[in-house]
Amino acid sequence: MQVGDLVRVKNTTTGDSSNMVRLYRERVPLLLISKSDTPSRLYTVLDGSTQYQLISWRLEVVNHANR
């Protein structure tokens, strides 16, 4: 996954917020706007004007950005 890719939430777990469950159920495409190189691999995604930080294993690529 690279900055600029469209991604979506690929799973949820018990205790996730209602927004996270909505993103998963509705298969909402999210824009990957930043990623950290730390071991936790937190990625920041954009849904409209709302930003979420998610661990990389919670996301799957929908469409790669032009490289």
Rounded distance between C-alpha atoms, residue 40 and residue 33, angstroms: 17
pTM of the model as a whole: 0.87
Task: Give the model confidence (pLDDT) of 20-67 as tens digits.
Answer: 999 999 999 999 999 998 787 899 999 999 999 999 999 999 998 776
- Provide the token pair at 42: 């937190």
> What pLDDT does residue 67 have?
62
- DSSP class of residue 53 equals E
Task: Give the model confidence (pLDDT) of 10-21 as tens digits.
Answer: 999 999 999 999
Which DSSP helix (H) or strand (E) runs through 21? helix 18-25
Rounded distance between C-alpha atoms, residue 51 and residue 20, angstroms: 12
Residue with tokens 């993103």: 23
